[in-house]
Amino acid sequence: MTEQTAPMRERITLTVNGTSVEGLVEPRQHLGDFLRQNLGLTGTHLGCEHGVCGACTVIVDGHPIRSCLMLAVQADGANVTTVEGMAKADGTLHPLQAAFRAHHGLQCGFCTPGMLTTLHAFLSANPNADESAIREAISGNLCRCTGYESIVDAALAAARIMQGGA
Amino acid sequence: MGARYFGASVPRIEDPGLLTGRGRYLDDIKLPGMAEAAFVRSVHAHARIKHIDVTVARNQPGIIAVLTAHDLGVAGKPMPQFAPSPLIKQQRTQHVLASEAVHYVGETIAIVVGDTRAAAEDAAALVEVDYDPLPAVTDLRTALDGDAPRAHEGAPDNHIATMRTKFGDTDQVFARAVHVFRETITQHRGGCHAMECRGVIAAEDEISGQLTVWSSTQAPYMVRRMLAPWLGLDESRVRVIAPQVGGGFGPKGPTYPEEFALAQTARLLKRPIKWVEDRREHFVATTQQRDQIWDVEVAADANGRMLGVRGRCLHDNGAYLPYGLILPGTTMASFPGPYALEALDITLDAAFTNLTPTTPVRGAGRPNVAFMLERLADRIARELKIDRADVRRRSFVRKDQFPYATGTKARDGSPIVFDSGDFHSCLESAVERFSDFRSRQEEARKEGRYLGLGIASYIEDTGLAPFEGATVKVQPNGKVLVLTGAAGQGQGHHTVFAQIAADLLGVPIEDVSVVSGDTGSFPHGIGTVGSRVAVLGGSSVHMAATRVREKALKLASEMLEAAEADLVIESGRVHVAGTDRSIGLADLALRLDGVAGLPLPRETEPGLGATAYFEGRALTFASGTNLAEVEVDVETGTVKILRYVVAHDCGRLINPMLVDGQIRGGVVHGIGNALFERMIYDDSGQPVTTNYGEYLLPTATEIPRIEIIHIETPSPLNPIGVKGAGEGGTIPAAACIISAIEDALTPFNVCIAEHPLSPERIADLIDGAKAT
């Protein structure tokens, strides 16, 4: 090893989608790259890597977080949920995922994981949210395909089901 | 044919994977031994390259190669012209890697290959390029002046081509017109901004020599067509696959230097290589639409009926011609809009600048023409003090005039004909939703609130020639496979193809799977551009599935010993109506797939499948009218869109839910063009809006609900009666929003002939109007 060139690495331990995982990461690696490259969880998409588009949003300790703006080392000890962790183990879709399909809340699907995780965290904390609050909640997630209306409709429908304890 | 799926809002078969993180986009593909690439790109808009020093970069840890044009053997070998045209005066396509000069910020100069993308990017920053900067052409208004700098050194001028579209006697029409109005209209359109950037993987199989290229493209067959001869390979040795693509919107239609560079580098280094564009690159290296400047005149009669339009358009094509004259050509093909003009004479001059090249973005020049024509229609209404809808009512092609020859000519010289439509019904159905608007506007003004109503009508030529095709096959397990060349980028093509096939073959849609966008699985394709796939791809699936159905009925008739007329196909089985006798499609498929020693039935080809191509011999025209209600804060210049109504005719609807999605997404793209999106360059050609803090896209809080009214006039030109729906939302939207803002500002007598409009610009327009 030459000290000038070999990148320093840090060991981290975190919980991802209910499973404890370990990683050896460069301090500069962001959480999104760690999830995609080290864990193969490619459902988290990188759309801008400067924290505006929201496609890479994951849930960290209950909060929606842009995984391109959080370093992997900062997630040491955290509990992370990605889009892969939303459906039940038997494959049953989360009410948000089912509502997105029923309301055509996705077209190309690239912003979708970030929309789902953002809304998952938001509706869990704000189960009675109305349309205007939902629009505000996803105002940090860019979608070029849908015009947002079908996403809002899906979120309203899912909120009703989530409140019903489904 | 039962209409179980066709016409119904069927949930998409694409969705389950996309909703659970199993989309498999380009960047999700990982091959054994795969290296990753980054590009060194020009930091100057126009410069000679004096020297490139890669020594330091090459010696970085984790670096496999740093290659210039000479290293790659591509110096002096520009990319092929995608769309040759005799009108092109200066044939300039980009080099895969620039070695002598660069002509826009972002142009590729060297490729750096590393174990990881991070290593490649680190080393790319250490490549030293010694430039000799040259004057840059950045202002379209003066680009064709004799004393303008040249975008390419040694060129006679910056002129690419002159295009003209003309019919009738404009001199005579303008001479006898009661009214003639002149406008100068300046338009800017932004970039693509699919949420997935571009990306390429190239890998050559060591033993077979087969080159496979995965690209997040709209047109894998065109990538193969460009790439194979350039590499000196038979097409059969090049396979191009479009995986799941995260939005296209036009700029993923052309082929790019990165596709060529990756293919060549993978062959040279004998290992798979991936490159994924980051967003900063997307702002400079993915084609854009940008500026058009129109100087036009409109002639109208005493009642405000539009009689003729004449004038000139100046078009910014950027630094190269990656896509021939398709974008300016589509601009010209948008005339005469929905208007029954007596005469038209438009000249377009396309110019080189030292900015990122331009190619079609959703709408592709059509929104520009719609904006211009709709501004002229509004101008007539304002000058004559008549209702803006009346100008449209009096000027539209009438329902009884279809099929209507517009007077313009297609590329092959044939007359352009509107196949079907009902422009007036679209207009009236949208207008009637705002019957109380003027009284509300008056009331609001008393409270110091400025409401405005916008109106814009449009046509869209769809179903662009030449063809798309499909193979439909029943597999021995009874499930149906559809193979097609037409790739999707989120439109839901697999679902609509499955709907069509499922109905004809009497199977549940769950039993249909679709493979698309892979040159290795279907022989011919063109690409997903110009709102053509539902028309051409959908019709080819219909034709192929119809033949499979006929084949199944013929064989079942022999095997069940019943007349074909007595047979029905339901739930994957052919039944003799009114009896309990039936045979499964699976059994028929197995019979036709053949068993050794058992001859096939006479006069039957193997396999329960068929392949068909639908050729688009003539364009089919979608049309409609949009109305928008806005409120303008005259102090801050901010615009709030209160209501948006679309009346739209795209023929028969295969899946209304998906069509609505296309329309809403399209409208919002147009709203972005009207109010938010501006790609700004400074005078030296440096881009200054290269992130989403500086370049604004519409977000959920600015966008209203969009009400949609469908008027269905089936197209007589294809077997399923459909017209394209991909761009109709975008085409009138900017025109509609600007019309609404102008209407809101009527008390200030503000006239608007430009977009996008920032709040600051609106405030300036109000101040300017107050001062005069």
Helix B257-269 and helix B220-231, axial crossing angle in degrees, nearest 10: 50
User: Could you report the per-residue pLDDT of B342-375, keeping only the tens digit for each?
Assistant: 999 999 999 999 999 999 999 999 999 999 999 9
CA distances from B709 to B111, B456, B659 (A): 50, 15, 11
Mean pLDDT throughout B81-98? Answer: 95
Q: What pLDDT score was predicted for residue B227?
A: 97
Position A4 pLDDT exceeds 70: no
| Nearest chain B alpha carbon to A85 | B20
- Half-sphere exposure at residue B313, Cβ-oriented, CA atoms within 13 angstroms: 31
Q: How far is B15 from chain A (nearest CA, A)?
A: 6
Show residues of chain B in contact with A116, CB under 8 Å: 19
What gap in Å lies between CA B661 and CA B639, rounded to an integer? Answer: 24
Interface of B with A in 477-506 (CB under 8 A): 489-492
- B384, containing H or E segment: helix B366-384
Show residues of chain B in contact with A84, CB under 8 Å: 20-21
At B547 the three-state DSSP class reads helix
For testing contact with chain B, the best of A33, A46, A148 (most B CBs within 10 A): A148
Interface of B with A in 36-65 (CB under 8 A): 60-61
For testing contact with chain B, the best of A144, A150, A153 (most B CBs within 10 A): A144
CB contact under 8 A, A52 and B693: yes
Residue type, B532: R
Is residue B99 within 8 A of residue B75, CB to CB? The reply is yes
Position B639 pLDDT exceeds 50: yes
Residue type, B530: G
Q: How far is B4 from chain A (nearest CA, A)?
A: 18
What gap in Å lies between CA B660 and CA B646, rounded to an integer? Answer: 10
CB contact under 8 A, B700 and A28: no
Q: What pLDDT score was predicted for residue B3?
A: 57
Q: Which of A5, A49, A149 sits opposite B706 (nearest CB)?
A: A149
From the list B742, B64, B138, B73, the residue with the least C-alpha distance to B454 is B742
Token representation of residue B38: 């980054």
Token representation of residue B682: 């400074």
Which DSSP symbol is given to B629?
A: E
For residue A99, how far is the Cα from the chain centroid? 17
Show residues of chain A in contact with B669, CB under 8 Å: 144
A18 exposed, middle or buried (CB, 10 Å; 0-12, 13-18, 19+)? Answer: exposed
| Nearest chain A alpha carbon to B22 | A43
Show residues of chain A in contact with B693, CB under 8 Å: 50, 52
| Nearest chain B alpha carbon to A153 | B705
In this complex, is the C-beta atom of B24 within 8 Å of any C-beta atom belonging to chain A?
Answer: yes
Q: What pLDDT score was predicted for residue B464?
A: 86
CB contact under 8 A, A112 and B22: no
Show residues of chain A in contact with B22, CB under 8 Å: 43
Q: Which of B246, B661, B706 sits opposite A109 (nearest CB)?
A: B246
Interface of B with A in 384-403 (CB under 8 A): none
Show residues of chain A in contact with B689, CB under 8 Å: none
In this complex, is the C-beta atom of B244 within 8 Å of any C-beta atom belonging to chain A?
Answer: yes
Q: What pLDDT score was predicted for residue A1?
A: 39
Confidence of residue A21 (pLDDT cuts 50, 70, 90): very high
Question: What's the residue count for chain A?
Answer: 166
Mean pLDDT throughout B127-135? Answer: 98
CB contact under 8 A, A135 and B700: yes
pTM of the model: 0.96
Q: Which of A109, A136, A146 sits opposite B661 (nearest CB)?
A: A146
Is residue B637 within 8 A of residue B758, CB to CB? The reply is yes
Q: What pLDDT score was predicted for residue B425?
A: 97
CB contact under 8 A, A109 and B490: yes
What gap in Å lies between CA B326 and CA B92, rounded to an integer? Answer: 15
Helix B656-675 and helix A149-163, axial crossing angle in degrees, nearest 10: 120
Q: Give the list of residues 6+ apart from residue A112 with CB closer than 8 angstroms, or none.
A: A83, A100, A105, A106, B18, B19
Instruction: Count Cβ neighbours within 10 Å for each residue of B314-324 and write b for 16 or more, e otherwise.
Output: bbbbbbbbbbb
What gap in Å lies between CA B676 and CA B266, rounded to an integer? Answer: 40
Q: What pLDDT score was predicted for residue A6?
A: 62
Position A3 pLDDT exceeds 70: no
Token representation of residue B628: 């928008």
Q: What pLDDT score was predicted for residue B203?
A: 98
- Half-sphere exposure at residue B705, Cβ-oriented, CA atoms within 13 angstroms: 7
Show residues of chain B in contact with A108, CB under 8 Å: 194-196, 244-247, 489-490
Mean pLDDT throughout B578-603? Answer: 93
Beta strand ranges found along B463-511 (DSSP E): 467-474, 480-484
CB contact under 8 A, A102 and B195: no
At A59 the three-state DSSP class reads strand
What gap in Å lies between CA B16 and CA B334, rounded to an integer? Answer: 38
CB contact under 8 A, B195 and A136: no
Q: What pLDDT score was predicted for residue B151?
A: 98
Percentage of chain B exceeding pLDDT 70: 100
Mean pLDDT throughout B489-507? Answer: 96
In this complex, is the C-beta atom of B11 within 8 Å of any C-beta atom belonging to chain A?
Answer: yes
For residue B303, how far is the Cα from the chain centroid? 37
Is residue B136 within 8 A of residue B684, CB to CB? The reply is yes
| Nearest chain B alpha carbon to A58 | B21
Is residue B346 within 8 A of residue B309, CB to CB? The reply is yes
Show residues of chain B in contact with A145, CB under 8 Å: 195, 247, 490, 661, 665
Q: Give the list of residues 6+ apart from residue B434 with CB closer than 8 angstroms, or none.
A: B453, B627, B629, B643, B645
Q: What pLDDT score was predicted for residue B528?
A: 83
CB contact under 8 A, B700 and A101: no
Average pLDDT, chain B: 96
Q: Which of B118, B196, B658 sits opposite A110 (nearest CB)?
A: B196
For residue B759, how far is the Cα from the chain centroid? 29
Is residue B697 within 8 A of residue A146, CB to CB? The reply is no
What gap in Å lies between CA B196 and CA B198, rounded to an integer? Answer: 7
Q: What pLDDT score was predicted for residue A166?
A: 46
Q: What pLDDT score was predicted for residue B1?
A: 43
Q: Which of B21, B693, B706 sits opposite A41 (nearest CB)?
A: B21
What gap in Å lies between CA B465 and CA B615, rounded to an integer? Answer: 7
CB contact under 8 A, A47 and B491: no
Q: How far is A149 from chain B (nearest CA, A)?
A: 6
Q: What pLDDT score was predicted for residue B152?
A: 98
CB contact under 8 A, B194 and A108: yes
Q: Which of B16, B661, B692 sits opposite A53 (nearest CB)?
A: B692
CB contact under 8 A, A113 and B21: yes
- SS3 for B134-202 is CCCCCCHHHCCCCCCCCCCCCCCCCEEEEEEEEECCHHHHHHHCCEEEEEEEEEECCCCCCCCCCEEEE
Tell me the CA end-to-end span of chain A in Å, nearest whole number. Answer: 55
CB contact under 8 A, B665 and A84: no
In this complex, is the C-beta atom of B703 within 8 Å of any C-beta atom belonging to chain A?
Answer: yes
Confidence of residue B502 (pLDDT cuts 50, 70, 90): very high
Mean pLDDT throughout B167-176? Answer: 98
Q: What pLDDT score was predicted for residue A165?
A: 54
The sign one gets for the Cα dihedral B430, B432, B436, B439 is positive
Is residue A125 within 8 A of residue A135, CB to CB? The reply is no
User: Could you report the per-residue pLDDT of B460-488, keeping only the tens digit for each?
Assistant: 999 888 989 999 999 999 999 999 998 88
From the list B442, B361, B421, the residue with the least C-alpha distance to B190 is B361
User: Could you report the per-residue pLDDT of A35-63, keeping only the tens digit for each?
Assistant: 999 999 999 999 999 999 999 999 999 99
User: Could you report the per-residue pLDDT of B239-291, keeping only the tens digit for each?
Assistant: 999 999 999 999 999 999 999 999 999 999 999 999 999 999 999 999 999 99
Q: How far is B345 from chain A (nearest CA, A)?
A: 36
CB contact under 8 A, B195 and A97: no
- B505, containing H or E segment: helix B493-505
Tell me the CA end-to-end span of chain B in Å, nearest whole number. Answer: 66
Q: What pLDDT score was predicted for residue A5?
A: 56
Q: What pLDDT score was predicted for residue B146?
A: 93
